[in-house]
Amino acid sequence: MGSCVDCVLSSHYGAHAAIVAAHTGATYQHLVMHVNENELPRPDRTIALVGLMGAGKSTIGRRLAARLDIPFVDADTEIEAAAGSTIPEIFERHGEAAFRDGERRVIARLLRGKPKVLATGGGAFMNADTRQRLKTRAITIWLRADLNLLMTRVSKRDNRPLLKQGDPRATMERLIAERYPVYATADIVIDSNEGPHEAVVDRIVESLREREAA
């Protein structure tokens, strides 16, 4: 792309690009294609990542935010800050229902500000109220991953109360069965696989670009 003379001029849109194209003999189509490849999506709404524990919502989210040059916020971290305790502590002291209530309130607050990348906890999108709010105020992206990858990733940390009771793999299988049909209603579905995180970010950016162009 760097050696393409037309692309040196490709920061100019529309009529100007057409004039440049006429001068260089390049087609307007060609120029516009390269212009769009270089342009970052400019989302007018928050981008909310949903998906199971271990799907990479925080890791990918942080990188996506850096790429788009907008803030990154992790809902779980915000819940912990608001509660002054860790998620395992909240579950242990107050129970899952109290955690879900806090999660709903914190996400509602986070959706009020300027566009950002928001990593949600795995259960957030299962709450009808939160899901509705995310769907109206954000572009929702499901990071889909398979069971083996999720298990590999979650086994590295011991901070997920839902995986501490019984057989974690069986729990994860049950959550996949319950949640994947709901996650599938997100605006965009991206496979989060074993490849480099930046490749997942590339696919998200491409999808956002396509959405903006549509």
Binding site for ligand S3P (CB under 6 A): 53, 57, 76, 87, 121-123, 160-162
CB of 110 to ligand S3P, least distance (A): 14
CB of 108 to ligand S3P, least distance (A): 16
Closer Cβ to ligand S3P, 53 or 139, answer by number: 53
Asked if 76 and 87 count as a contact pair (C-beta separation under 8 A), the reply is: yes
Closer Cβ to ligand S3P, 41 or 123, answer by number: 123
Closer Cβ to ligand S3P, 41 or 122, answer by number: 122
- Tokens standing for residue 211: 């959405």
Closer Cβ to ligand S3P, 41 or 51, answer by number: 51
27 torsion bin: left (phi>0), alpha (psi -120 to 50), beta (else): beta
CB of 202 to ligand S3P, least distance (A): 22
Closer Cβ to ligand S3P, 4 or 188, answer by number: 188
CB of 113 to ligand S3P, least distance (A): 20
Please write down the long-range contacts of 9-18, taking CB distance under 8 Å and 24 or more positions apart. 10/34, 10/35, 10/38, 11/35, 11/38
* DSSP-H helix ranges across 39-146: 57-68, 75-83, 87-94, 96-110, 128-137
Determine the Cα–Cα distance for residues 182 and 164; give it in Å rounded to an integer: 24
CB of 102 to ligand S3P, least distance (A): 10
CB of 54 to ligand S3P, least distance (A): 7
- Tokens standing for residue 12: 């100019």
Half-sphere exposure of 187 (CA within 13 A, CB side): 21
Asked if 190 and 184 count as a contact pair (C-beta separation under 8 A), the reply is: no
Closer Cβ to ligand S3P, 68 or 75, answer by number: 75
CA dihedral 95, 74, 51, 60 (to 10 degrees): -150
